[in-house]
Chains A and B, each alone.
Chain A
Amino acid sequence: MRNIRIIALREISGYFTTPLAFVFTVIFLALTGAFAFYVGGFFERGQADLRAFFEFHPWLFLFLVPAIAMRLWAEERKTGTIELLLTLPVSTTEAVLGKFLAAWGFIGVALVLTFPMWITVNVLGTPDNGVIATSYLGSFFMAGAFLAIGSCISALTKNQVIAFIVASAACFLFTMSGLEMVLNFFRGWAPEMLIDAIASMSFLIHFDSVTKGVIDLKDAVYFLSLIAFWLFANVAVVELKKAG
């Protein structure tokens, strides 16, 4: 635990000694706001809720989270500090978790900083704050799943651009797998079970149910197991690279 905390703290401090934290937070806040108001029609809807705000989170995360994730391992490999990190008395799992938690916590802070949206709806009307809370939680867990995918892919390369593009593409597949467009492709020939399985892998479907205020154990398990799986893969990738 101690080692995970120390590694996470070092990572976090890295965000703030470079413009990374500032740039990310500003862009994230600007985009979530802009999408909610201009594309989502926050006012036109005439409803005191944050659906217009949360609706776009999967699409923003699609490139913002890989942007955070791409450097996690690729940069260490590029600069050679990975040799330092992995020869310190920490296990690979501790290093993976430390890095992941730092980035996840940072995204969490960025999410918290969108609180003016929440104040706004509360001033304008009487929203269901329970739904908003679960939506925030859902958004946070979804970001975690994106991040775990990105972190694992970042460990595969020393090129951050490649890490970014591949992670975005992988996240895109996970996001899209529940859309009719994708499902229709399978519907003609695939058995119902397979279609259900593909649909059940979708970020959108799970996130959608969360933002409706339905706290289903299934969704929580979905995101958590996705995070666990990809972090496990992340550890495996780092270990495999040792074998050369």
Chain B
Amino acid sequence: MIRLRELTKKFGSLTAVDGISLSVGGGEVLGFLGPNGAGKSTTMKMVSGFLAPTSGSANVCGYDVAEEPVKVKSRIGYLPERGPSYGDMTPRSFLDFIAAIRGFDGNEKTRRVAQTVERLALGEVLGQTIDTLSKGFKSRVGLAQAILHDPEVLMLDEPTDGLDPNQKHHVRNLILEMAKDKAIIVSTHILEEVEAVCTRVVIIARGRLLTDGTPEELLARSRHHNSVLVTMDASAAEPVRKEIAALNGVEGVDILDGLEDRARLRVLAKQGRPIAIEISGLIRAKNLPVRELQVEKGSLDEVFRDITRASEGMGEGDA
């Protein structure tokens, strides 16, 4: 439903978005990751028709943003960064305005507004001016505006920014609920969010697309993916290390700081293949004095840092 082709945006000499090509289909929730200033928001602004690309094109539901902006805009629900809304309006009058401009009238309008208000639990603040609302309510008003017309394509720029954990949970559930038939792009730098809602992750830095894959694929890139933490008495550490290091699938064994009389080893897997079974088999066969085994999945944080840092290194090399 969304197709970006070599999308590029330059501000003077600064290239904010550098030739991003990407397509997102219905039922996909694409997590848009990247450090601050990576070009996430700029990309979304171009797809939503707020900024014109310097070159390349964005196509939404078969319409080119530059050629038929109104058709594209009517099919997109867009939550801009920081979820701006008219501060001197109340959520009721604001959503009425949005519903009207989205082409709803009479009963249908009333129904849409009521439904959206219920979905985002805005009932208690309907009559207050938006300026006086708490951050959580404000950003939910912004979200309400984006989903009111049940769009085919939803683009949310940091939708959970400034929300408390309960509200974040609520918003994530909402995204999952809507994910069935929509194409959704969520930009974020909260990595747990990616694991919670996204079916696919794209990492961009310095305007370039670095990786594109499922969260699982991304996790598999972690050095610690499928590594095993082994805990035992400190005295047994050395012999156990030797035994485990001799196994086929083991890349290496790190000795971690243990607690007083305990020692911990991190066993790294070759190419992230599962090795836990092998290790536990070894432990049983040789009756090693191991107290605890724990499989690690690796963390997106780590992968994110590795990937984006590598690109920064490249950038400095260029300069």
Contacts and interface: CB of A to CB of B under 8 A. Distances in A.
B86 A14 contact: yes
A90 B69 CA distance: 9
A13 B101 contact: no
A87 B48 contact: yes
Contact of A242 (B52, B76, B78): B52
Interface residues of A, number: 23
Given A14-B88, A17-B88, A86 B98 contact: no
The interface centre, meaning the residue of B86, B98, B102 with most chain A CB atoms within 10 A of its CB, is: B86
Contacts of B162: none
Interface residues of B, number: 33
A129 interface: no
Interface stretch (A3-11, A52-60, A179-187): A3-11
B52 A79 contact: no
Nearest to B73: A89
A80 B80 CA distance: 9
B93 A13 contact: yes
A18 B131 CA distance: 12
B101 A81 contact: no
A7 B97 CA distance: 8
B231 interface: no
A63 B84 CA distance: 30
A91 B71 CA distance: 10
A117 B23 CA distance: 65
Interface of B: 9, 11, 45, 48-52, 69-71, 73-74, 76, 78, 80-82, 84-89, 93, 97-98, 100-103, 129, 145
Given A6-B100, A81-B84, 16 more contacts: A10-B89, A13-B93, A14-B88, A18-B88, A79-B86, A80-B84, A84-B80, A86-B50, A87-B76, A87-B78, A88-B73, A89-B103, A90-B70, A90-B101, A91-B69, A243-B52
